[in-house]
Copies of this chain bind each other. A is one copy, B any other.
Amino acid sequence: MANSFGKIFTITTFGESHGEAIGGVIDGCPAGVELDLEFIQKEMDRRKPGQSKIVTQRKEPDAVRFLSGIFEGKTTGTSIGFIIENVHQRSNDYSHIKDSYRPSHADYTYDKKYGNRDYRGGGRTSARETANWVVGGAVAKQVIPDIKINAYTSSVGDLFLEKPYQDLDFSETENNIVRCPDAEVAKEMIEKIDTIRKQGDTIGGTVTCVIQNVPVGLGEPIFDKLHAQLGKAMLSINAVKGFEYGSGFCGAKMKGSEHNDIFNEDGSTKSNLSGGIQGGISNGMDIYFRVAFKPVATIMQAQQTIDKEGNIVEMHGKGRHDPCVVPRAVPIVEAMAAMVLTDFMLLNK
């Protein structure tokens, strides 16, 4: 079930970038949750295209239509079906990729795997799919309201937000279009993306996510470790190339005497290089991780590529694309994290 995620709280999705609609089924949501539909739409708005000058200019309202599983404002415990109509397709923008493969896109691999591909807007490979995940995440967040999940842009290219998360005010994140909770760094990041955009180029970046107020005991040892499932969730997001939690790759340079988190009497730890997880199980400390996104593959520059027959052809980016995925990835990272946490909360109850 390549289009399903989760064990107890699951989402199963469908939809192509330029098809009629995308959507999905949320299964395993407990009964009796009062769903705030406005909140869900606000989450959608954080991800939707056209929200600012540094993202793709495709205009989609991304209005979610819930078809089942909710009665008189509350979840019923049955599966929640939803669809999001696609309204602003411009499929003829994509005729140039019908017979050619965009470099570093999945055109080639889909064609070789399936032999039959909806090439319009990237079809199923488009990150448009992640709108479905934001629906799932926005429901999940309401199932586990006590757990606080905050993601933010922590780097754009080689421009890093150096402050540790403890020094940040997450309520600042939504105050700028790049979603960096430090106004000054945000400004620089926005300028950087705008410059790159004007060059017809794109740029990578990272998103950091902090999960707070997690009870001790979430996660299943051995093969369903909490961080392994978080990692899988993040690596499912389009353009992700890496995942690290706690000390991450830096931890690999350290000594045990530096890295160990010493306990306080109440079971909390003085440091938290572990990132809130020991042996795959939450220890009650903050969980934090970082996700690396490559630069968007579609650039507004001429590139050499091949067509289906293997002839070298020149291709020039068309369509409406993000110069940097990171600002819109922030709510997607949160959504996937929310679904993972909800799944483990329900498994653990």
Question: Which residues of A are at the interface with B, using a C-beta cutoff of 8 A?
Answer: 1-5, 10, 12-16, 19-25, 27-28, 31-32, 65, 67-69, 71, 74-81, 83, 101, 103-106, 108-110, 112-118, 123-125, 129, 155, 157-158, 196, 201-206, 216-217, 219-225, 227-229, 231-232, 235-236, 238, 241-249, 251-267, 269, 273-275, 277-283, 292-299, 301, 303-306, 310-312, 349
Return chain B residues, CB-CB under 8 Å to A106: 221, 278-281
Return chain B residues, CB-CB under 8 Å to A282: 109
Do residues B14 and A267 form an inter-chain contact, with CB atoms below 8 A? no
Return chain B residues, CB-CB under 8 Å to A22: 67-68, 81
Do residues A27 and B4 form an inter-chain contact, with CB atoms below 8 A? yes
- Docked Cα-Cα span, A69 to B15, in Å, equals 7
Q: How many copies of this chain sit in the oligomeric assembly? A: 4
Also in contact, A4 and B223, with CB within 8 A (given A216-B109, A281-B110): yes
Return chain B residues, CB-CB under 8 Å to A231: 231-232, 235, 243
Residue A310 contacts which of B32, B68, B267 (CB distance < 8 angstroms)? B267
- Nearest Cβ distance between residue A119 and chain B, in whole angstroms? 8
Do residues B245 and A244 form an inter-chain contact, with CB atoms below 8 A? no
- Docked Cα-Cα span, A205 to B78, in Å, equals 29
- Nearest Cβ distance between residue A129 and chain B, in whole angstroms? 7
Cβ-closest chain B residue relative to A106: B279
Supply 28 A–B pairs (Cβ within 8 Å), ascending by A. A1-B28, A3-B25, A16-B78, A19-B67, A21-B68, A24-B25, A31-B113, A31-B116, A67-B83, A76-B124, A77-B116, A106-B279, A109-B277, A125-B221, A155-B252, A201-B255, A201-B256, A202-B255, A225-B236, A228-B235, A242-B251, A247-B294, A251-B292, A254-B295, A256-B298, A257-B299, A265-B310, A273-B294
Return chain B residues, CB-CB under 8 Å to A235: 225, 227-228, 231-232, 243
Cβ-closest chain B residue relative to A242: B244
- Docked Cα-Cα span, A227 to B239, in Å, equals 11
